[in-house]
Structure 1
Amino acid sequence: MTRTWHISSVTDAARARIAAARLATAHGVSPTDRARLVTALTAQLRQCLTKGGTWLLSARAAATPPAGSRFLVEVTSATQRPGEFRQPWRLTVGCAQEEGLPDSGHVGDDPVTLAEALFGADEDAALLLEKLDEQEALVAFHREELHQTNQGVLALHAELDAAGRAQRELFAAEQKAREEAENARGRLTFLADASAALTASLNHDEIVRLLPTLLVPRYARTADIWLFDGDDDVRLSGPRPGAAVVAARRGRPQYAADHPGGLPGVEDQPPSALDPERPLLCVPLMTRGAPLGVLTLSPPGDRWDADDAFMLIELARRAGVALENARRFEHNRDIAETLQRALLTELPLTPGLRLAARYLPATRGLNIGGDWYDAFRQPDGGLITVIGDVTGHGLHAAVMMSQLRTALRAYAVDGKSPGQLLTQLHLLLHHMQPDLYATAVIARFHPHEPTLTWAAAGHPPPVLRSPDGEVRVLDAKPGAMLGIPLRQEIADHTVPLPPGSTLALYTDGLVERRAQGIDPGIDRLAGALGALRPAALAEDLEGSADLLLHPLLDDSEHEDDVCLLLCHVHGDTGKVTAPLR
């Protein structure tokens, strides 16, 4: 049902507003919506009265599925001219009931009715304000709660940021520690490899060439080695940095630059006048408290890291030790080689017999051993040939070899046989040098006897070639090594020796190879000796010795000394051919 009121004055507006409020109450409009409705309707009616004329206020309730019932208020002009259109004002609120309501359209003029209407509107407004206060309190509560939440979120963000920052710092520290550990491992690996390379060589010049190649360009842009000789004179010509001279004088590392180096254990010096723009690290190559020289380095970058400098100083110390060891080795080698060469005397000229000898020092390791050969006459006209090997290397082995050689010549004066000579050498070596041993083969030729007498003590057996080219290894039971703690009588052995025969005496350096043993080498020697032409043996024994060595020494380097003594018997006992060396 629609209710309509005509409004042309303030009184009409007041009565219509009261009637509309009652009708909204009757339809179950909530106090809040009712207060909102009355407030909006009052404002609209004020505008209508201001414009003047007659206005129509209508109100009705209608069902609007599925939202439920709605209470509609509409204000339109009652004085519109034909053809004129004005948009009506409408307001809709929810309500509980649609039909069956009492007539609420008449409003009396008595004060009680108007007062009741006004008080009712005030109650609705008070109720609305109370709800607004509740909403404001709720909003304030939620605002405070939101503020606390925001503070918590900010605190959480701060904690997360601090945790993230701490985590980044820990990660950076871990990365730095890992890099430092990796660098330290690299330095230690380099130091170990470089030290092994330096100490692996006993060649002084090779160490001097190797050291700069190890350092440049990883740890130095340039590397210069300044060495002194025994009188502290300069080996290499040219001016040297002042810091290098100070390092040589004081025996301590020096750093020459226009800024402090800050390197541990290194003294700072002014920049070098030779190259003021380049920092220099001058490290003495020390041995037994005295410098052998100075290693002068320039950094690969602007300056050195302290750990790199410490490693370089340690490497220089090890290089000094390697140089000193090489110098001692070369000194002992020169003495031993000179002694050994001096003891390898000229072979005697013997009717009916030609001799040819070869001695090759080892090219690996200590170089000088105790190998020797000798040939000399006995008072009865016989010729003693001997080849031997003292265990060990170096000066000590060479000295022992010379003593055995001298003793053998002394014992042979009495005309003793090869076995007797070896037995006496065994007793001499056992009493004189219990910690040294030797091997030897002695062969005795006699111009009036067509036989060869020989004896061996722990030595590779002689190889004999007959005139028809047949080769046999004289491997009859030998004696034990000379000097071992064992009593022994070394036996003599005899074989026929017709003219044209060739005997080969040798040391193990000719036939022994570490990977193969000695027997295959003896077989190769026998094969090479059998392959020589008889004419070559008879006419050029020296050349035959070279031809024999060539297939056996298949490389230019050998780890042991090599001795070879060839003895060729020819038929003309009155003709003497001088051996060539």
Structure 2
Amino acid sequence: MHGVPPDFVAPWLRLPLSSPTPVAAAVREQRLVWVGNQEDMVRRYPRVAAALPYRFSLAAAPIAGEHRGWGALQLLWPADHPPHASRRDCENAAAGARRVARVLDAAGGPPDFPERPWIVPDELVRPHPEQDGRAAVAYAERLPEGALALDLHGRITFLSSTAARLLGRPADRLLGAVPWSALPWLDDPAHEERYRTAVISREPTAFTALRPPDHWLDFQLFPDAGGISVRISPSGRSAAAAPATAVPGSAQTAPTAPSAGRLQQLMHLAAALTEAVGVSDVVDMVADQILPVFGADALVLSAADAGRLKIIGHRGYSAEVLERLDGLPLDTDLTPAGRALADGTPSFFARPEEIARSYPEAPRISGKKAWAVLPLIVSARPVGVCVLSYTRPHAFTADERAVLTSLAGLIAQALDRARLFDAKNDLAHGLQSALLPRTLPRIDGLDFAARYLPAGRGQDIGGDFYDLIRLDDRTAAAVIGDVQGHNVAAAALMGQVRTAVHAHAAAGAAPDQVLARTNRLLVDLEPDLLVSCLYAHLDLTRRQVTLASAGHPPPLLRRPGGRAHVLDLEPGPLLGIEVAAGYPLTTLPLPEGTLLVLYTDGLVEVPGTDADSVTAALTDHLSRHTADHLADLRADQASDRAGGVLDRLIDELVQVGWPAGQHTDDIALLLLQATRRAG
């Protein structure tokens, strides 16, 4: 990285590909992402906007290698850049990403990722001509104002004697220091925020601060890619004329306020935690985004359950240590977790000796050197405990304690919501699984594979279903359908439809009659939900299939040695609408090697993409690749591996339909392959 201090990117050192950030979107969608200004960022990526409320433009270009995606290249422009990307901007970003991809491809494997990003020295990016540094110092000393230089980390790299005099501190005590840390009266989040604005937006900015007891100073900041030049001069303002927002700092009060950077990190983490859905999301969010920000090395997240602390997430601990800590009673004296949860007060231990005074076994169990024990409490109700630990002694500043204490409340609420979601989700999907067939019957002369994929997280259960019914030794019925909605009512109706279809098929009804009788049942039930269904009667003796459709997407068909195409079926109306509805029949030959792909609309209805285009891509994939699958099937026909070939084909079809994953609707697939009869 270059041109940005490391603490600015601390919340994004590790990101899941699903995160709502420009760089993750570029990798997911394999396209250039451009964010023109702050308004654009707020609209599209509000979490990032909360953490970086500055004026700048951004481009994220995917680093696409020859055989794999490596990541993304992110470029920032200052505030004076136009909000619309020029052709040159896009070409430069894409060209840079391609160059990085070629280097990574040539390396032959993934690089070793450092714990912290590598900082590209300014000299490698912007070579400066050789000049006499003494002349520059002499120039600064002749100025009537104070001159001071900051690097991108906020450290003082140069100051004139006038600047040292105005700041009231010798130069040797300020060089290498951060102003708001070295000078208590500058430790105001508003002042640090001016510095951060200058670094990101690359716009000059200014502020006025009071050096006790009554010296008002004007600070003017002039940034570029290498750092910030600061001009300091007396403002002539009196204390009585101080603005209402100016609060003189003091050594006793200033350190208690979290820095601007910490406040923005807290806003970012709060936004991130609101998006966590399940318990695993909360654990990943804490591990990937909170640990790096505070420099911690390990994590244990425990939930209060039946009087014990059950570990539900962890990082950086061995299995032996976790086994020792899991299931401790809430009143345990082995670690401070129980006491912290009982009195609701966070505990901070900077070194092993501190924790050993009250809990002598704790440092020996974990082998860590410092701990932050955060009780997780919601509405006076204990939820759990979050323990951050360090492999080296760590003195917790007042800033860190304040932010971690605030974060504990946010983690508690996120964890409480996540546990409720997981409980509801487990119940819903348990019901879904109970309504779908546990196993499908083996039928001589027919190979098959089936898959049900629920919608992305945050959705309730859906009504997609499939079934394969053995009618006799040489005939079978295949059915797939979709009940409108994602709720318990949809799942319950799905169970009724599947049961009705199964019963009518087993009774020997023809395909059109199976749908007609099921339709009359639904009309009587008046469910107020739409149901589509496709029924296929497979006669493996005559080598033919007869199909009837109730408003369902037509299946895909591939003949041996031919191209795949969409079957042209005349559909009847959806089930449950018209009591006297008829369902036309279509009969087709089913020679050995014929492949039928039955699916629900969740496979092809991709937001922002035409369903016909997705269907065309699926048929093209079947045409180009199914020949190899069929060869594998013929080779494996006598084994149990044939179903595995079709299972892999299902994976490929889902990938074609949803290349970025995260499908937003349920998907059901049933693949049927006519094979040679055994014996």
Q: TM-score, normalised by structure 1?
A: 0.55
| Structure index of larger Rg | 1
1:291 matched to 2:382? The reply is yes
Query: CA-to-partner distance for each residue in 1:6-42, whole Å, 9 max, x for gaps?
Result: xxxxxxxxxxxxxxxxxxxxxxxxxxxxxxxxxxxxx
> Which one of the candidate residues 418, 423, 436 is aligned to 1:328?
423
Q: TM-score, normalised by structure 2?
A: 0.48
Match of 2:672 in 1: 567
> Which one of the candidate residues 595, 612, 619 is aligned to 1:526?
619
Match of 2:407 in 1: 312
Match of 2:341 in 1: 248
1:167 matched to 2:238? The reply is yes
> Which one of the candidate residues 478, 490, 495 is aligned to 1:385?
478
Match of 1:94 in 2: none
Match of 1:545 in 2: 646
> Which one of the candidate residues 285, 297, 310 is aligned to 1:210?
285
> Which one of the candidate residues 423, 446, 450 is aligned to 1:358?
450
Match of 1:503 in 2: 596
Change (3 A) 1:558 1:427: farther
Partner secondary structure for residue 442 of structure 1: strand
Q: Is the 8 A contact 2:538 2:545 kept in 1?
A: yes
Change (3 A) 1:523 1:293: same
1:303 matched to 2:395? The reply is no
Q: Is the 8 A contact 1:417 1:492 kept in 2?
A: no
> Which one of the candidate residues 518, 542, 557 is aligned to 2:661?
557
Query: CA-to-partner distance for each residue in 1:496-555, whole Å, 9 max, x for gaps?
Result: 315234322223344443332321232233333344336556565536524643543244
Q: Is the 8 A contact 1:287 1:324 kept in 2?
A: no
Q: Is the 8 A contact 1:372 1:563 kept in 2?
A: yes
Match of 2:584 in 1: 492
Change (3 A) 1:475 1:223: same
Task: State the 1:444 CA deviation.
Answer: 1.0
Match of 1:42 in 2: none
Match of 1:347 in 2: 441
| One-letter amino acid of the counterpart of residue 566, structure 1 | L
Q: Is the 8 A contact 1:371 1:401 kept in 2?
A: yes
Partner secondary structure for residue 376 of structure 2: strand
Provide the C-alpha distance between the structure 2 equivalents of 1:361 and 1:173, rounded to a whole number of angstroms.
Answer: 59
Task: State the 1:459 CA deviation.
Answer: 2.1
Change (3 A) 1:225 1:567: closer
Query: CA-to-partner distance for each residue in 1:156-207, whole Å, 9 max, x for gaps?
Result: xxxx999x99823553763339999x96987775455323322433342342
Q: Is the 8 A contact 2:462 2:486 kept in 1?
A: yes
5+ residue gaps, structure 2: 1-213, 217-234, 311-321, 326-331, 364-368
Equivalent residues in 2 for 1:44-193, closer than 5 Å: 167-168=238-239, 170-171=241-242, 174-176=245-247, 190-193=265-268
| One-letter amino acid of the counterpart of residue 282, structure 2 | I
Provide the C-alpha distance between the structure 2 equivalents of 1:381 and 1:305, rounded to a whole number of angstroms.
Answer: 72
Partner secondary structure for residue 208 of structure 1: helix
Partner secondary structure for residue 201 of structure 1: coil
Task: State the 1:283 CA deviation.
Answer: 4.2
Match of 2:309 in 1: 234
Provide the C-alpha distance between the structure 1 equivalents of 2:632 and 2:294, rounded to a whole number of angstroms.
Answer: 60
5+ residue gaps, structure 1: 1-159, 259-268
> Which one of the candidate residues 398, 408, 420 is aligned to 2:513?
420
Provide the C-alpha distance between the structure 2 equivalents of 1:436 and 1:544, rounded to a whole number of angstroms.
Answer: 36
Provide the C-alpha distance between the structure 2 equivalents of 1:231 and 1:347, rounded to a whole number of angstroms.
Answer: 43
Provide the C-alpha distance between the structure 2 equivalents of 1:273 and 1:564, rounded to a whole number of angstroms.
Answer: 56
Provide the C-alpha distance between the structure 2 equivalents of 1:430 and 1:291, rounded to a whole number of angstroms.
Answer: 50
Match of 2:105 in 1: none
Q: Is the 8 A contact 2:474 2:541 kept in 1?
A: no
Q: Is the 8 A contact 1:349 1:576 kept in 2?
A: no
Task: State the 1:447 CA deviation.
Answer: 4.6
Provide the C-alpha distance between the structure 2 equivalents of 1:229 and 1:330, rounded to a whole number of angstroms.
Answer: 20
Partner secondary structure for residue 466 of structure 2: strand
Task: State the 1:365 CA deviation.
Answer: 2.3
Root mean square deviation, CA, Å: 4.8
Which structure is richer in relative contact order (CA contacts within 8 A, separation 6 or more)?
A: 1
Provide the C-alpha distance between the structure 2 equivalents of 1:547 and 1:254, rounded to a whole number of angstroms.
Answer: 50
Q: Is the 8 A contact 1:217 1:300 kept in 2?
A: no
Equivalent residues in 2 for 1:326-475, closer than 5 Å: 326-329=421-424, 331-332=426-427, 335-336=430-431, 338-339=433-434, 343-350=437-444, 353-359=445-451, 361-362=453-454, 364-365=456-457, 369-378=462-471, 382-393=475-486, 397-429=490-522, 432=525, 434=527, 436-447=529-540, 449=542, 451-467=544-560, 469-475=562-568
Provide the C-alpha distance between the structure 2 equivalents of 1:382 and 1:279, rounded to a whole number of angstroms.
Answer: 69
Change (3 A) 1:433 1:243: farther
Task: State the 1:337 CA deviation.
Answer: 6.2
| One-letter amino acid of the counterpart of residue 354, structure 1 | L
| One-letter amino acid of the counterpart of residue 646, structure 2 | A
Provide the C-alpha distance between the structure 1 equivalents of 2:622 and 2:287, rounded to a whole number of angstroms.
Answer: 48
Task: State the 1:461 CA deviation.
Answer: 0.4
Partner secondary structure for residue 293 of structure 1: strand
Query: CA-to-partner distance for each residue in 1:41-97, whole Å, 9 max, x for gaps?
Result: xxxxxxxxxxxxxxxxxxxxxxxxxxxxxxxxxxxxxxxxxxxxxxxxxxxxxxxxx
Provide the C-alpha distance between the structure 2 equivalents of 1:165 and 1:270, rounded to a whole number of angstroms.
Answer: 55
Provide the C-alpha distance between the structure 1 equivalents of 2:547 and 2:617, rounded to a whole number of angstroms.
Answer: 22
Provide the C-alpha distance between the structure 2 equivalents of 1:355 and 1:279, rounded to a whole number of angstroms.
Answer: 59
Partner secondary structure for residue 443 of structure 1: strand
Q: Is the 8 A contact 2:523 2:579 kept in 1?
A: no
Task: State the 1:462 CA deviation.
Answer: 1.4
Provide the C-alpha distance between the structure 2 equivalents of 1:488 and 1:402, rounded to a whole number of angstroms.
Answer: 23
| One-letter amino acid of the counterpart of residue 524, structure 1 | A
Task: State the 1:494 CA deviation.
Answer: 1.7
Change (3 A) 1:558 1:245: closer
Task: State the 1:479 CA deviation.
Answer: 3.1
Partner secondary structure for residue 447 of structure 2: strand
Q: Is the 8 A contact 2:258 2:399 kept in 1?
A: no
Provide the C-alpha distance between the structure 1 equivalents of 2:285 and 2:503, rounded to a whole number of angstroms.
Answer: 49
Match of 2:36 in 1: none
Provide the C-alpha distance between the structure 2 equivalents of 1:498 and 1:378, rounded to a whole number of angstroms.
Answer: 17
Query: CA-to-partner distance for each residue in 1:442-478, whole Å, 9 max, x for gaps?
Result: 1112356554321222322012334562544223332
Q: Is the 8 A contact 1:418 1:444 kept in 2?
A: yes
Partner secondary structure for residue 355 of structure 1: strand
Q: Is the 8 A contact 2:346 2:405 kept in 1?
A: no
| One-letter amino acid of the counterpart of residue 545, structure 1 | L
Identity among equivalent positions (%) equals 27
